[in-house]
Structure 1
Amino acid sequence: MTKKVGFFNLSLRRVLADGLSILDGARLRMLYYGLALAFFTLFVILADVLYQHHVILSITTGVMFVSAAVLFKFLTYRPRWTLISHLILIVGTIANVVDIFVAIQNVDVVTAEVIILIMLFSFYMLGQKPGLIYSLLNIVPALALMLLQYSNNYVIPLKPEKVDQNTSIVAMFACFVLIAIIISHFYNAFIKTFTELKETSEKQNGLTSEFEDAMRKAQKSSEAKSEFLSTMSHEIRTPLNAVIGMSNLLITGNPRPDQRENLEVLKFSAGNLLSIVNDVLDFNKIESGKLIFENIKFNMVELMQNICGGQTLTAHAKGLAFKLDVDSGLNRKVLFGDPTRITQIVFNLISNAIKFTAEGSVSVRATCIEDRHNQVTVNFAVKDTGIGIDQSRLDLIFEPFTQESISTTRQYGGTGLGLAIVKRLLELQGIKIKVNSTPGTGSEFTFNMIFPVSTEIYEPAPKQQQLAEDNDNLSAVRILIAEDNPVNVMLMKKLLSKWGITPTIAENGERAVELVQYGNFDIILMDLQMPVMNGFDAAKEIRKMRDHQKSGIPIIALTASALFDIRERVHDSGMNDYVSKPFKPNELFEKIQMLMKFPTSSFKFSDTPVVP
């Protein structure tokens, strides 16, 4: 857009806007200098034709002279170059046609130059379509006159007006100069435009290169963050493993009532710390986009009972009524899905409900709202009679590290990651969670999930016997533990001693490989991060042994790592399974039992089944 100036302005500089394009600037300059030159040229020609008493030429030249003066003033006052260009071409076309058919009644050199000038001007100023129209409006009359003269059919009662040589020379010179002005200005504009495009392209290439560098740095930063979180996870989980493990061992040792109370507090606090660490790691895993959902078989009733088992005790400890209601239509169905993530979602919702409910009840429902034989839609609902949430802050509670209010954070604590994790896990599956809440009355969180259904019929597995009753089953098991942390070694020895097992200890991966080479073991518990040789490399070396009995020894990885691909790395290194630290004794016991039952099999993580 051009600037607005005073009426008496005659300067071109004042009408050129700062943000004007190169091509538009060239158009304005060409109009300015072209109209100025046309004004003086037409003044000379007008004086000459008036002197020669050429009436028609005087009229057409006078009209163009006045038009040039008016349009020049208009240009320096309101530089609307499109309108001015049209007006110039209209006046010039009319004058040219009148001169051809009435005044000179001929197509001479000057007329040809004027037509060429109009063609160039119209194309450069207005573009292809207007340029073509104005060109034809000038070319067609000239050709028509030439054809009529050739056939001797053009006769009018007016005598042609002949201009002298001086007028022709002035007109020809002015046309050449105007053509040169048009070409020079637009040539310069095109060169500048091409140069600018080249510079822009080079800058774009530079920005692209910088962007790629920034992406590489961001990727490295993300990898460094993941490695850092993995290291911190290992460093935090390792002592937590000892704290929780020792607490469990001491509690089972018949302590005095006051000692039991202290141990329960210690265990509870360690569990809270572990929960916070897990929340941060899980949220980072989700935000990184590296979370992969499993698609394995499970039974909904069994899963919900397992989720709510511990939560029921927590609710009752607060004096809350706890109710679990699972649709009976799901009792015998085997579903495909990710039970780990379902557990994480429902567990977080229940934990929140219990945390923010001082009195009343918490109820959990899993209702089959649609059954299509090969798939079911289950509605999950967690309802409480707690403090409730203000409607204006419902969206805020799902933001990471945020709770409903500062007072809520101070009173109830927590990281504010629970609901953020729930929302992200559901969104990654294309599911939206709904909240119905009234302050002071309570809240209800609901969402629907679709599960493919297996053709199998679910049969509940017989309950595992207590560990104390199974000591005889494991007393003869030869276990090798590869662990460099002395506290964890002591913990494992104490734990296995309760099962009647005396393990062999290897302080690093290299020592573990040597002991397997020269000894006989039934199962190996392998820590992953060890000096000299880590657990992954040690497992690979064991799998390469020529003795098939040794190379086929079941290996369970014990890891406190939080790397996203830990399961794949464990599997790729040849290990059979893994247990995360801090681990539950029952979980480790069951996995040892399973692998000892099938000592020569290559146990793998559940493969994804074909969805029916």
Structure 2
Amino acid sequence: MLLQMNFASIKSNLLGSVFLNITDPIKRARIHILFYMILVSIVFCIGLFFVYLKIGPPFQLVRIVFILILLFYGIYELWVRQNYKPASHIVLSVLVMLVWSNTFLVNNGISIITIQYILLAITCGFYLHNGRWGIFYSFLAILALVILFLQDGVTKVNLYITNRQVINPVFIAVLMINFFQLIFINYHFLKSLQSAIAQLGKAQRDEIELNKQLKIAIEIAQNSSMEKTDFLSTMSHELRTPLNSVIGMSHVLLADNPRADQEENLKVLHFSAESLLALINDILDFNKLEYSKIEMEKTGFKPAELIARIYDGLKNQSDEKGINFILNMDDRLKDLVVIGDPTRLLQILFNLVGNAIKFTPRGEVELSMHLSEEDDQNISIAFAVRDTGIGISLEKREIIFEPFAQASVNITRRFGGSGLGLAITKQLLDLHGSQIDLRSEENAGTTFKFSISYKKASLADMPSKVLFSAFSESTENISSLSILVAEDNAMNILFMKKLFKSWDIKADFAENGKVALEMAEIKFYDVVLMDIHMPVMDGYEASRRIQKFYDGRERPVMIALTASVANDVINKIDHAGLDDYISKPFNPNELKNKLATLSRLKLSKIIS
């Protein structure tokens, strides 16, 4: 046992530097085989050197010296430089040289030792290198025999062991050492192959285990993401519901001819509530984009009408700041209908124009839309938002598109904002396959440009909904409409009552979907404003049952009221058969314009 431990210690010391940082079992086996082959060969050749130095012949002495020089260089490459490939080529070259010199200079024929050298050359060629080098060295070794056969004829070449060789200690030693090396090479390589297979099996088992852990981690991450999204959606609903009352009541109070001091306070209240709503919307939109929850809509719309809505909606803001707001629209796009996502385009332009107005103390803001490229089926529209505001410095132009980043810490203090608007805009443009071009100069203004390609469409491709939302307040009389409001929140009911009173509308109210269904079955209403989330019976089920009750007859126009931002809400609203929807908190002007459209339709039916 002690002898075995000493041998292991000597082996470790000898090969410690050679095996440094080598984990591949095949490569380790090659180095191991080479090291011991060269080491044994050097020791044996030194012994032969003294034998041939004493008894000759001179050729054998010269050959041994040459082989020793090559072997010492090989051990240098292997041990000192830790490069096994040159050492392996040296060993194979020595073997081939021994085959050729034995065949033509020493024996003038084929001896069993020559055959051993050929077998060693073939074995080492394939084991120490690849197939190409194995074939090369095997061919070199066998070529000597082929030439001998061609030179002397097959019948004159004998494989022999003479009586003199049998009693020659040198011959017997060489014969045994060659057999030993063949056994050692095959044993060691087989052992390394088994080790490699074992490592591969372990790697496969580790991979299976890692995949299991990865699958669990992905499920945990997906559940966490879903929980986060659900939490944000729930919190959004809970925040937007009271905000609907705050923003709505501020609209009502501002429209009720308040005193000058009251008007100022109400405007501060209204602005703060709108800012809070904008912040909530930005965070939720960014969350959707971050988790790829936004699906692009493909519907027919008129870009000219959309850009006009933006102009109307933001004109009051620019007028309040004394800024000249310019709308520059290509006449060729006036009646154009395209297939795309109008909601996302509206969001992009609202962000850019809103920022332009916010960061422009004086001067002008221009919103422009021009035809860029066109063919028979597609059209590319170029949009630009230009302002004469504070501008953006060169070093800040990249970071402004990063989430929660703004050009300066002073920006937040002076102008407010979450720093998400441009990040959302950039990601929405990525979904459109477009990029934003920014040109700016500090204290001189900024211009944002982008182009979006759309598929051409016709009026038949536009949604069949009769309603159209706008931001400018309608002045039409809508008091003739009979309206049912299904709403369970007491504050929202109070707000809606005051809102309808200001429009001379006497509306009926239901505290849940079941009551709304019962009331709709007793009395016909022109419009049903249906809150989606209600106790007893939700808005979806109530809407479906009202449609079923009026099956085959004229039924009320049903508009969903929802504070939810869940991804599937719009699809659920469509599947429930509702005609349109309004997101809470809503602008009363938007609702009034929808109702004014319905009032005109009702009047036209009466006249006809």
TM-score range, shorter chain: 0.7 to 0.9
Map of 1:4 onto structure 2:
none
Where does residue 265 of structure 1 map in the other structure? 268
Partner residue in 1 for 2:231: 228
Q: 1:207 aligns with which of 207, 210, 213?
A: 210
Match of 2:8 in 1: none
Q: Which residue of 2 aligns with 1:310?
A: 313
2:486 matched to which residue of 1?
482
Residue in structure 2 matched with residue 245 of structure 1 by the alignment:
248
Match of 1:531 among 535, 551, 555: 535
Task: Report the TM-score, using the length of structure 2 for normalisation.
Answer: 0.86
What TM-score does the superposition give when structure 1 sets the normalisation length? 0.85
Q: Distance in 2 between matches of 1:235 and 1:462?
A: 27
Is it true that 1:282 corresponds to 2:285 in the alignment?
yes
Distance 1:223 1:35 in 2: 65
- State the partner residue of 1:508: 512
Corresponding residue SS for 1:163: helix
**In 1, distance between residues paired with 2:312 and 2:595?**
24
State yes or no: 1:564 paired with 2:571. no
Match of 1:6 in 2: none
How many angstroms does 1:305 deviate by?
2.3
Q: CA deviation at 1:30?
A: 1.3
Give the letter aligned to residue 93 of structure 1.
Answer: V
Contact 1:516 1:550 in 2 (8 A): no
The alpha carbon displacement at 1:484 in A equals 1.9
- Identity of aligned pairs, percent? 34
Query: What does 1:150-229 correspond to in 2, within 5 Å?
Result: 150=153, 163-165=165-167, 166-229=169-232
Deviations 1:38-57 (A, max 9, x none): 23334455556666654544
Match of 1:470 in 2: 477
> 1:211 deviation in Å?
2.1
Summarize the Cα distance change of 1:223–1:351 in structure 2 as closer, same or farther, 3 Å threshold: same
CA contact (8 A) 2:297 2:340 kept: yes
Amino acid at match of 1:493: K
The Cα shift of 1:456 comes to: 5.5
Q: Which segments of 5 or more consecutive residues in structure 2 lack a partner in the other structure?
A: 1-11, 603-608
Q: Output the CA distance in 2 between the equivalents of 1:334 and 1:328.
A: 13
Shift of 1:198: 1.8
Cα displacement (A) at 1:537 = 3.8
> Amino acid of the residue matched to residue 534 of structure 2?
M
* 1:322-357 Cα shifts (integer Å, max 9, x gaps): 222212222333333333222222221121112111
Q: Which structure 2 residues correspond to residues 584-595 of structure 1 after superposition, within 5 A? A: 584-591=587-594
Instruction: Give the superposed CA RMSD.
Output: 3.4
Alignment partner of 1:346 out of 346, 349, 352: 349
**What are structure 1's unaligned runs of at least 5 residues?**
1-8, 600-612
1:419 aligns with 2:422: yes
CA distance in 1, matches of 2:379, 2:550: 49
Task: Kindly provide the amino acid, as one letter, of the partner of residue 126 in structure 2.
Answer: F
Deviation string for 1:78-128 (max 9, x for gaps)? 332211211222222122211122212232322222211111112111221
Give the counterpart of 2:101 among 93, 98, 102: 98
Q: 1:449 to 1:463 in 2, by over 3 A?
A: closer
Give the residue type in structure 2 aligned to 1:411: R
1:607 maps to which residue?
A: none
Q: Is the 8 A contact 1:45 1:171 kept in 2?
A: no
Cα distance per residue 1:20-43 (max 9 Å; x no partner): 532222222212211222233344
Whether the 8 Å contact between 1:523 and 1:596 is mirrored in structure 2 is no
Decide whether aligned partners of structure 1 residues 368 and 67 sit closer, same or farther in structure 2, where only a CA change above 3 A counts: closer
* Cα displacement (A) at 1:239: 0.8
Residue in 1 that maps onto 2:33: 30
* Deviating more after overlay: 136-145 vs 109-118: 136-145
Distance 1:316 1:525, change over 3 A: closer
Distance 2:73 2:401 in 1: 68
Query: C-alpha displacement at 1:596, in angstroms?
Result: 8.3
**Equivalent residue in structure 2 for 1:71, among 71, 74, 78:** 74
What displacement does 1:174 show?
Answer: 0.5
Cα deviation 1:255-277 (Å, max 9, x = unaligned): 33333332233222222221221
Shift of 1:538: 3.8
* Residue number in structure 1 paired with 2:496: 492
Identify if the C-alpha distance between structure 1 residues 421 and 79 changes in structure 2 by more than 3 Å, giving closer, same or farther: closer
Q: Is 1:378 matched with 2:385?
A: no
In structure 2, C-alpha distance between the alignment counterparts of 1:50 and 1:100, rounded to whole Å = 23
Matched, 1:114 2:121: no
Distance in 2 between the 1:467 and 1:455 partners?
28
Distance 1:263 1:348 in 2: 25
Which one-letter code corresponds to 2:272 in the other structure?
S
Matching residue's letter, 1:486: A
1:434 aligns with 2:437: yes
Tell me, in whole angstroms, the C-alpha distance in 1 between the residues paired with 2:336 and 2:576: 35
Q: CA shift at 1:241, angstroms?
A: 0.7
In the alignment, which residue of structure 1 is the partner of 2:24?
A: 21
Q: Bigger shift: 563-572 or 202-211?
A: 202-211
Question: In 1, Cα distance between the equivalents of 2:44 and 2:86?
Answer: 23
CA contact (8 A) 1:28 1:79 kept: no
Q: Note the C-alpha offset of 1:412.
A: 1.7
Q: Which of 311-320 and 463-472 deviates more?
A: 463-472
Give 2:297's aligned residue: 294
> How far is the alpha carbon of 1:371 from its aligned partner?
4.6
Query: Quick check: 2:389–2:443 contact (8 Å CA) kept in 1?
Result: yes
The answer (yes or no) to whether the contact 1:506–1:512 under 8 Å persists in 2 is: yes
What is the distance in 2 between the residues matched to 1:43 and 1:94?
Answer: 18
Code of the residue aligned with 2:165 in structure 1: it is V
Structure 2 residue aligned with 1:140: 143
Tell me the distance in 1 between the aligned counterparts of 2:325 and 2:596: 34
> In structure 1, the residue corresponding to 2:257 is in which secondary structure?
coil
Q: Structure 1 residues 104, 344: closer, same or farther in 2, change over 3 A?
A: same
- Work out the CA distance in 2 between the residues paired with 1:21 and 1:462: 71
Distance 1:227 1:65 in 2: 78
Tell me whether 276-285 or 432-441 shows the greater mean CA deviation.
Answer: 276-285
CA distance in 2, matches of 1:564, 1:285: 8
Q: Does the 8 Å CA contact 2:99/2:144 hold for their aligned counterparts?
A: no
Query: Is 2:38–2:71's contact at 8 Å kept on the other side of the alignment?
Result: yes
Partner residue in 2 for 1:608: none
| Structure 2 residue matching 1:431: 3-state secondary structure | coil
Aligned equivalents of 1:468, 1:152: Cα separation in 2 = 121
